[in-house]
Amino acid sequence: MQRVETLIKDFVEHTGLTERHEIIHGTLYVTLKDPKGFDHFHKTIRTFFKEEIDNEGGVNMYAVGDEFAFDFVPEDREAPVFCDETFSGKEEMDPTDTDDKGVWSEFAEEEMMNNIPGEVDTMLDLENDAEEGR
């Protein structure tokens, strides 16, 4: 595990994209020099991980305040941000693409609808009633 962490830290240092980086309990935490470049960094670290450490692995990214956390996971637990069938990591993903390989799921939509504040939920109900003539 120490060898893998050392490889990752050396690679991150070599990219020159981070102001700060550290690995805690297997999670890589970075502060990027350009926070808007998080997608590029995610693709870069994922490509490195798959090519140099575990070709059957993946990398999940999370925003944590002003830094980003990267978990190195088995391929079947990787968030569907990347899809090797249609995305090689070289071309940009089209956010308007509506195929079934996107990151949006019915579960996410259902969870979002369950967390609507009461006032918004009431307004949506009133709007639906008005459309139905009630």
Nearest to residue 5, comparing CAs of 51, 61, 72, 81? 72
pLDDT (0 to 100) of residue 119? 62
Q: Which residue has the tokens 């020159």?
A: 16
Which residues are bridge partners to 23 per DSSP? Answer: 28
pLDDT for the residue 49: 94
Query: Which pLDDT belongs to residue 72?
Result: 92
Q: So what CATH class is 2-93?
A: alpha beta
Helix (H, G, I), strand (E, B) or coil at 23: strand
Per-residue pLDDT of the chain (134 residues; tens, 9 = 90+): 788 999 999 999 999 999 999 999 999 999 999 988 899 999 999 999 999 999 999 999 999 888 999 999 998 888 887 544 444 444 444 444 444 444 444 444 454 555 555 666 676 777 777 777 77
- Residue 91 DSSP class: S
The candidate with the shortest Cα–Cα distance to 46, out of 55, 37, 34, is: 55
pTM of the model: 0.59
| Domain range annotation of the chain | 2-93, 104-134
